[in-house]
Structure 1
Amino acid sequence: MPTDTPLRLRILDAVTDVPAADWDALAGPDAPPFARHAWLAAMEESGSATEETGWAPHHLTIWRGPKLVAAAPAYRKFHSMGEYIYDFGWADAAARLGVEYYPKLIVGGPLSPATVPRMLIAQGEDIPALRKALLIAAVESAQEAGCSSVHILYPTDEEADFLEEQGLARRVTLQFQWKNPGYASYDDYLSRFDSKRRHQLKRERAAAATQGITLRTVRSAELTQAHAKRAFEFYEATCERHSWGRVQLTPDFFSRVFKAMPDSVEMVEAVREGRVIAGAFNLATKERLYGRYWGSIEEHPFLHFHVCLYHSVDDCIRAGRKVFEPGAGGEHKVSRGFEPTAVHSAHVIFDRRLDSAVRDYVRRERARLNMAVEEAEQISGLKPWPLPKIQTG
């Protein structure tokens, strides 16, 4: 198809309005699971991310003739749950100004706090031009749909640079991620800690054996619908156990993902006296592990750390994975070797008063990040600690 063929924008009400092969060709063969068509389709078709649940699909696609050349997953949002780039305070400020904050348009995936390419571009295309076309489409379609703002969540560093250059307010927040510089064994990893922290980790890691608990990871062909059912039950139990918890995913979501993406799904199981008492639903690529949801039906000291952290760190070392992203929050991860890592978002709000206030807020927030990183260094016990300085200019 000649590159001078006019481009055409289509807003999709469902990701299934475009063939999976076309979408995944943009994402590429090594794309994180959250960028894949099957993940988004499972979210929508299971009833987990729909207009009724506050996630109205509004996917941006650009076509040259019959060929899909660019796409960005997007949703009109009617609340701020399930995004993990917290803007509840912005919504409160909007209310004080008399601005209707919802709906807003987010570019990103539902319930997936992971850095993922947000602007998918076909090979051989003009990347800056199509990124700009997607951004213009996001802003203009959001305004036409009565949205207050556009928020691009968890873009790559390169995309965040581009969005900042285009005038969006760039927000930098922290996640705690495990990094592998080339460990040969778990003991090799432990050697990076000072003696006090190393003793603590050995003691906590040894607890499972004294409790009669064994852990294993179930992958690929071993996964069954029984595992999918168990994953939902653990997820539901955790949501209901905490006051902030909210069940947003349906059993059908897990069923669909286990069927459609067995190459990407991993299930950590903790077994005691022949019964699975806890588990974690994770996603993986060759180089990265993504922790998503966990739960338990019994309480034991350090069980959460075993299921969600220690066992998977050991797995990552054996597999040679470079990064383990266990999800949002969790400062307790720092003392267990997870390093503060910058993640990004970009924002534009159509009310000038609120936009100005948000830009001032993100500047001040960003200036405080290096203090948070240095505080983490004080409690980490890692030696040497590679401080990831955050650009605050």
Structure 2
Amino acid sequence: MRKTMLSVQFIDSMSDISRQDWNEIAGTNFPFTRHEFLQALEDSAAVTARTGWQPHHALIYDDQALVAALPLYLKSHSYGEYVFDFQWANAYQQQRLDYYPKLVSSIPFTPVTGPRLCLKAGYDEQLIVQNLLKAIQQLATENSLSGWHLLFPNAALSRQLLRLGAPRRRAVHFRWQNNNFHSFDDFLATFSSRKRKNLRRERQKIVEQDISIETLTGHQITPAHWRQFALFYRQTYAKKSGHAGYLDHAFFLQVGETMSEHTVLMLAKCGDRYVAGALSFQDAEHLYGRYWGCSEEFDSLHFELCYYQGIDYCITHGLKQFDPGVQGEHKIQRGFQPYYSYSNHWLKHPGFHDAITRFIDQEDAHIDRYKAEATALLPFKSNSRSP
């Protein structure tokens, strides 16, 4: 048997590797590790050294053959990650040490659990991970980087890194599970009576405000639709945070052109004018709610566009899960169940690495309690099909 000869290389742009070569490793089902998605982030200048997201992706070769790949960024801040380490950065600063730049493996601005290490079939993932971690640690040491952070990997990869000395941090997010429902009313039948009435009342408010919903997929979404949605997104971001958001019209237009099979755009109309929109991505089994925006405020419209329409879409198209995005206890009463998400963290400084390991260990008990409390608040009847 030929001995595996692994080497790790780093590239500063998705343009440095062909779409075909990357997607042969990453696959084309999960939208956020596709070459097209990561390239659109670069082409629209959402991820650059100027924005604090310098691409530095890892490619793993067996001799001359590409066998694995990992999205990787040099970060000069912690924004757009959704795993909060600002306290860690402050602790470094208090000790007159530099926390930035750091290495982050994530899908920028996309806190969705899923594949991070893209691996060719037939290769030993444990061996690949060991070599990759060693190369990243060497990169950090040679370039004065504080460490490496892997955000929202699947559970199996997170466990492997935990065994290799990269502590695993947990959080609780919420997602909807399709238990073979035939309709939205079928799903509502699993609720207790009072919770069911509350949800129906919210949906009725949409009708009373003369709002209709258009659901567009793929090439049904025209450039005019993308311009309208980008405006909603940037207006809403500006109202919430004072800046126009991480993404622009060019990004949305490009993913609409290159990844049309994944895009689901829901637009709300009041009379004859569009007033809000929600963009999701889909794969063979999941719907991922990603971006939302509006030009006017309407009672319960956010819940309708970002939650109920997504549930309806999953039931109609036989999708198994709906991940509506991070945060928000208000999802619980609407039937989104708590689940663990993961991140792994390796810090080059031994003292800080040990301190953060202890912090994560202490935090774990709070995370378990929070998940148990959230589960107890779910709206389902005890004999329903949703646990």
Normalised by the length of structure 2, the TM-score is: 0.96
The equivalent residue for 1:234 is 232
Does residue 285 of structure 2 align to residue 287 of structure 1?
yes
Quote the offset at 1:64 in angstroms: 2.8
Residue type at the aligned position of 2:17: V
Runs of 4+ in 1 over 4 A off after TM superposition: 385-388
Quote the offset at 1:246 in angstroms: 5.7
Q: Note if contact 2:76-2:101 (Cα within 8 Å) is conserved in structure 1.
A: yes
Quote the offset at 1:52 in angstroms: 0.8
Quote the offset at 1:377 in angstroms: 3.0
Does residue 146 of structure 2 align to residue 148 of structure 1?
yes
Q: Gaps (5+ residues) in structure 2?
A: none
- The total of aligned residue pairs comes to 386
The equivalent residue for 1:391 is none
Q: Note if contact 1:47-1:250 (Cα within 8 Å) is conserved in structure 2.
A: no
The equivalent residue for 2:42 is 44
Q: Note if contact 2:28-2:34 (Cα within 8 Å) is conserved in structure 1.
A: no
The equivalent residue for 2:263 is 265
The equivalent residue for 1:359 is 357
The equivalent residue for 1:330 is 328
SS of equivalent residue, structure 1 residue 38: helix
Residue type at the aligned position of 1:277: V
Residue type at the aligned position of 1:13: D
The equivalent residue for 1:28 is 27
Q: Note if contact 2:190-2:381 (Cα within 8 Å) is conserved in structure 1.
A: yes
Q: Note if contact 1:234-1:295 (Cα within 8 Å) is conserved in structure 2.
A: yes
Which of these residues, 371, 374, 380, is aligned with residue 372 of structure 2? 374
The equivalent residue for 2:132 is 134
Residue type at the aligned position of 1:171: R
- After TM superposition, list the pairs within 5 Å mapping 1:63-142 onto structure 2: 63-142=61-140
Normalised by the length of structure 1, the TM-score is: 0.94
Quote the offset at 1:149 in angstroms: 0.9
SS of equivalent residue, structure 1 residue 183: coil
Residue type at the aligned position of 2:102: K
Distance 1:79 1:29 in 2: 30
Residue type at the aligned position of 1:348: W
Q: Note if contact 2:179-2:386 (Cα within 8 Å) is conserved in structure 1.
A: no
How high is the sequence identity, in percent, across the aligned residues? 36
Distance 1:64 1:169 in 2: 28
Quote the offset at 1:3 in angstroms: 4.5
Residue type at the aligned position of 1:138: I
Quote the offset at 1:20 in angstroms: 0.8
SS of equivalent residue, structure 2 residue 261: coil
The equivalent residue for 1:310 is 308
Quote the offset at 1:276 in angstroms: 1.0
Using a 3 Å threshold, how does the CA distance of structure 1 residues 3 and 259 change in structure 2: closer, same or farther? farther
Quote the offset at 1:132 in angstroms: 1.4
Using a 3 Å threshold, how does the CA distance of structure 1 residues 337 and 139 change in structure 2: closer, same or farther? same
Distance 1:364 1:283 in 2: 35
Q: Gaps (5+ residues) in structure 1?
A: 389-393
SS of equivalent residue, structure 2 residue 364: helix
Distance 1:387 1:260 in 2: 36
Using a 3 Å threshold, how does the CA distance of structure 1 residues 243 and 28 change in structure 2: closer, same or farther? closer
Residue type at the aligned position of 1:164: L
Q: Note if contact 1:174-1:342 (Cα within 8 Å) is conserved in structure 2.
A: yes
Quote the offset at 1:5 in angstroms: 6.1
Residue type at the aligned position of 2:93: A
Residue type at the aligned position of 2:354: S
Distance 2:34 2:166 in 1: 26
Q: Note if contact 1:99-1:351 (Cα within 8 Å) is conserved in structure 2.
A: no
SS of equivalent residue, structure 1 residue 182: coil
- The more displaced of 228-237 and 79-88 is 228-237
- The more displaced of 201-210 and 365-374 is 365-374
Two-structure CA RMSD over aligned residues (Å): 1.8
